[in-house]
């Protein structure tokens, strides 16, 4: 087992990464002993791992709420089911909300914990690769709105993240590839050596090589933990984590939540951001090719869907958390491993990218 720390002073918390961690009762006991615990999970994960987690929580009062599975259910209506369960069980302000699932479960459970009785503790046990390397770390929580992804939420840090690599054995190939997209992102925005490692080991990651996956998860979490510690609420460097996301969120919203997985949309968005970076003469042609070739090797989309026009993409991008003073701020690449945020760029070149980068 490896342990990383997200350094936020008195709100610092550990990230445990390893195989078989669901059976390690000592990881949870100090946080939950004798307390009320509400496990938030979904219909896919519950039959696989709910019993194992419940067993590890003996000595506490444990209840569970099982949500429908899918990005299309990341709504205020479904989110309210968590409050229904907490209130029906008469849970008090000393309870713990435990997220057992992928990014949708983690985001909704964390947001519920931030709001229930004005804030209760919560723990993340991510069960998808994408959640293990990205969404479970950093305290971004929330739900989607029909007009924009993750537009309703809160910054609220967990007390602990437990990433059990063994649960990835039950993850389908499409979800695995979606997680690899976020792994590639870290190499592109700030870790050139990691990007080179991914280029060399992409086949091992796709083949679920345990050593390769463990290393990729740890390196990704290390990168994110450093960024979050330096800029918890996205006032500066943390914005780099949005590389490809403004384009990607527009794809997710425009196609209807659940049609494209988050990682798939981000993969296409990263290629679009790299293309725009090249058009703006920030990224050379070799860097553009390496970025898009690696994403293609990961069996991920490199183009936006043809059914979304450039005009519709622009409209959707304008409803984004990164918009500032009416200007869509984009993360662009200056080189492999180096990114920066820009609000002042040639709109005509953005239009070219949106027009030409469609399947």
92-118 pLDDT, tens digit each: 999 999 999 999 999 999 999 999 999
245 is catalytic: yes
| Out of 12-26, 166-180, 219-233, 307-321, least confident range | 307-321
Give the bridge partners for 100, in sequence order: 125
pLDDT at 320: 75
Active site residue 234: yes
Q: Which of 224, 278, 279, 290 is catalytic?
A: 224
Residue 299: band (very low, low, confident or very high) from pLDDT cuts 50, 70, 90: very high
- Whether residue 323 is predicted with pLDDT greater than 80 in this model: the reply is no
Record the pTM.
0.96
- Averaged over 321-326, what is the pLDDT? 69
Q: Is 90 a catalytic residue?
A: no
Given a contact cutoff of 8 angstroms between Cβ atoms, the answer to whether 301 and 215 are in contact is no
Has 238 been annotated as catalytic?
yes
Q: What is the mean predicted confidence (pLDDT) over 278-289?
A: 98
Mean pLDDT, residues 160-184: 98
List the beta strands (DSSP E) in 102-205: 121-126, 140-145, 148-155, 161-164
Catalytic residue status for 296: no
Of the pLDDT bands very low, low, confident and very high (cuts 50, 70, 90), residue 327 is: confident
282 a catalytic residue: no
Asked if pLDDT for residue 164 goes beyond 70, the answer is: yes
Give yes or no: 262 in active site.
Answer: yes
Residue 315 binned pLDDT confidence (cut-offs 50, 70, 90): very high
Catalytic residue (choose from 182, 218, 252, 264):
182
Domains with residue ranges and CATH for the chain? 2-170 (3.40.50.1970), 173-356 (1.20.1090.10)
pLDDT band at residue 321 using 50, 70 and 90 as cut-offs:
low
* pLDDT over 80 (residue 344): yes
Which residues, including other chains, have CB under 8 Å from residue 309's CB and lie 6 or more apart?
A: none
Does the annotation count 224 as an active-site position? Answer: yes
**Per-residue CA distances from 205 to 120, 167, 201, 244 (Å):** 36, 15, 6, 21
Average pLDDT along the chain: 96
> Closest Cα partner for 129 from 217, 195, 41?
217
Q: What is the model's pLDDT at position 34?
A: 87
Over residues 117-145, the mean pLDDT reads 98
């Amino acid at each position: 087992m490896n342990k990383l720390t997200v350094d936020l002073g008195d709100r610092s918390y550990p990230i445990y990464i390893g195989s078989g961690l669901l059976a390690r009762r000592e990881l949870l006991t100090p946080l939950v002993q004798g307390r009320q615990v509400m496990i938030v999970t979904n219909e896919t994960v519950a039959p696989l791992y709910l019993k194992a987690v419940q067993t590890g929580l003996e000595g506490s009062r444990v209840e569970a709420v099982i949500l429908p599975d899918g990005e299309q259910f990341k709504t205020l209506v479904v989110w309210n089911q968590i409050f229904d369960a907490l209130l029906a069980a008469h849970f008090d302000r000393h309870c713990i909300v435990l997220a057992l699932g992928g990014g949708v479960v983690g985001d909704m459970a964390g947001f519920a914990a931030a709001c229930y009785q004005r804030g209760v503790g919560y723990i993340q046990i991510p069960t998808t690769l994408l959640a293990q390397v990205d969404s479970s770390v950093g305290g971004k929580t929330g739900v989607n709105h029909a007009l924009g992804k993750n537009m309703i939420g809160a910054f609220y840090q967990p007390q602990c993240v437990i990433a059990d690599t063994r649960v990835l054995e039950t993850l389908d190939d499409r979800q695995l590839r979606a997680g690899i997209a976020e792994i590639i992102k870290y190499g592109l925005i700030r870790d050139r050596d990691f990007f080179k490692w991914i280029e060399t080991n992409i086949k091992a990651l796709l083949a679920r090589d345990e050593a390769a996956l463990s290393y990729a998860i740890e390196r990704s979490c290390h990168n994110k933990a450093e960024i979050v510690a330096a800029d918890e609420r996205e006032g500066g460097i943390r914005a780099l984590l949005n590389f490809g996301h403004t384009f990607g969120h527009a794809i997710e919203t425009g196609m209807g939540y659940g049609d494209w997985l988050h990682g798939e949309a981000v993969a296409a968005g990263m290629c679009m951001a790299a293309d725009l970076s090249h058009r703006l003469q920030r990224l050379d042609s070799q860097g553009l090719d390496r970025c898009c070739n690696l994403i293609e090797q990961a069996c991920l989309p490199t183009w936006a869907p043809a059914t979304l026009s450039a005009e519709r993409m622009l409209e959707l991008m304008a409803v984004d958390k990164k918009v500032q003073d009416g200007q869509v701020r984009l993360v662009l690449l200056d080189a492999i491993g180096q990114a920066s945020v820009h609000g002042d760029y040639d709109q005509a070149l953005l239009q070219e990218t949106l027009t030409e980068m469609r399947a």
